[in-house]
Amino acid sequence: MHDDVILEIRNVSKSFSGVQVLSGINMRVRKGEVHVVVGENGAGKSTLMKIISGVYQKDGGELLFEGKPIEVKSIRQMQEMGISIIHQEFNLLPNRTIAQNIFLGREPVKKRGIPVIDIEEMNAKSRELLGFLGLNVDPRTRVSSLGIAQQQMIEVAKALSFKSKVLIMDEPTATLTRNEISKLFEIIRKLKNEGVSIIYISHRLEELKEIADTISVLRDGALVGTLDASEATTGRIIKMMGGREITNQYHREFCTEVGEEVLRIDNLSSYRFKNVSLKVHRGEIVGISGLVGAGRTELIKAIFGFDRFESGEVVLFGKKYRRLNTSMTTRLKVGLVPEDRKDEGVIVEMPIRENIVHASLSQLFKNGILNKKTEAETANKYVKELGIVTNSIDKHVEYLSGGNQQKVVVAKWLCAQCDLILFDEPTRGIDVGAREEIYEIMNALVKQGKAVLMISSDMPELLGLCDRIYVMKDGRITQEFSHSEATQEKLLACSI
């Protein structure tokens, strides 16, 4: 038993500016196993993984790789030794090709003549990796033109190119559809068969049964316990994570009488969607279902004025618009909680307080002076209301855990008193408890007569929350269902 441990974590601890984030963590990862790590938002999962992969230095404790103590100095050192990580938020360069991203900084060089990058070799090797992953794209494609799911696969390809013995995946399925998750699981099984160990972080407890061999639970920076997958039930894991029992998590009273129309789009078209028409009324939660790549994100970004549309019109609160930009929509009290929060939702190098009030500055300015006291009170109020885990509102958002960053984005739009909030994959990376909190926020919004339009790849979530659901496929709306008509089968049938 001892011999097949590839990575051992002994008594590892870490604090950031005096705040203890990890204390005395002990964990053993065996060769060829899928070791799942779960815990609520802010429990310390990503921090532990960053220590193992060389992003952060530990304060105390030991790491042993293949039985020998190791001194972790850099990410590259760990990659070369055989430990790679795919971060929760990707690190790809959008303007480079797939192959350039995979081989960044260690491009194959032509052996003869002047040393130049061997592009053909690089593309060929990339093609091979992509083939192994069952991904049918040209390695010369720019990363910016790929969807999130495909970018995820490029991260996997990159990790594989290092011949990793331990591959860490920090919430790999957060943005994937059921179909893509199955593909990823197939890949994980394939890697496992080749003896690769996978450390896998996820909030989707229901999917863990499919792949986990071992499950370790973190809570407030400490290890609560490690279970064999065969003895772990969802209920038991949730108890270990924080003890919150999940009942009917949606708590939705469906809308019986809709209010006035807040959004109508007529025949809206752009390069990614065609002739889309839909409506949202006060008091309603309206969902958009579909596969990743169906044009849902592009549609919602066009409504928010983030992207342009080519033809058609958007009617917001009764007024027609042929062009929109984000300052217009923000003034109209429309908010967007985007899929890619790091780039579009928050300003990571700014503190929580400034992020929260960012869309409501006009209310906080008095005679041209920002009232710092009001700003702090407002920010503290939302931090408390949404349960954002932080020791101070002055903490920069980049240092918050993924789930807590998401809550900051939601807080920003709540603070701006939005009448219509667009949510793109609202519970991506959110733990079970916090997920329920987000659902409650949506419920409260529509009860106050506001409106929600949401995209989700999580069908039970759409079915549990939405009064109406539109299904998109290849940039077009293929069907509309009322809450009572919609089923998972029907949604799927119209998406593929």
Q: Are strands 166-170 and 197-201 parallel, antiparallel or unpaired?
A: parallel
Q: Give least dist CB 86 to Mg ion, A.
A: 12
Of 11-19, 88-96, 207-215, 332-340, the segment contacting Mg ion by CB under 5 A is 88-96
39 binds ligand ATP (CB under 6 A): yes
User: Position of tokens 């349960």?
Assistant: 387
Q: Are strands 369-370 and 365-366 parallel, antiparallel or unpaired?
A: antiparallel
Are the beta carbons of 320 and 366 closer than 8 angstroms?
Answer: no
Of 38-46, 246-254, 378-386, 467-475, the segment contacting ligand ATP by CB under 6 A is 38-46
Q: Give least dist CB 111 to ligand ATP, A.
A: 42
Q: Which of ligand ATP, Mg ion, none binds 270 (CB below 5-8 Å, type-dependent)?
A: none
402 binds Mg ion (CB under 5 A): yes
Distance in Å from the first CA to the final CA of the chain:
46
Q: Of these, 45, 333, 341, 428, which contacts ligand ATP (CB under 6 A)?
A: 45
82 binds ligand ATP (CB under 6 A): no
Instruction: Specify the residue, 293 or 402, whose C-beta has the smaller distance to ligand ATP.
Output: 402
44 binds Mg ion (CB under 5 A): no
Q: Of these, 47, 151, 173, 427, which contacts ligand ATP (CB under 6 A)?
A: 47
Q: Give least dist CB 114 to ligand ATP, A.
A: 42
Closest to 158 in 3D by CA, of 81, 105, 109: 105
173 binds Mg ion (CB under 5 A): no
Of 39-47, 139-147, 298-306, 332-340, the segment contacting ligand ATP by CB under 6 A is 39-47
Q: Of these, 128, 142, 399, 464, which contacts ligand ATP (CB under 6 A)?
A: 399
Q: Give least dist CB 20 to ligand ATP, A.
A: 9
User: What is the total count of residues that contact Mg ion (CB under 5 A)?
Assistant: 4
Q: Give least dist CB 43 to Mg ion, A.
A: 8
Binding site residues, ligand ATP, CB under 6 A: 16, 21, 39, 41-47, 88, 389-390, 399-404, 431
Binding site residues, Mg ion, CB under 5 A: 46, 88, 401-402
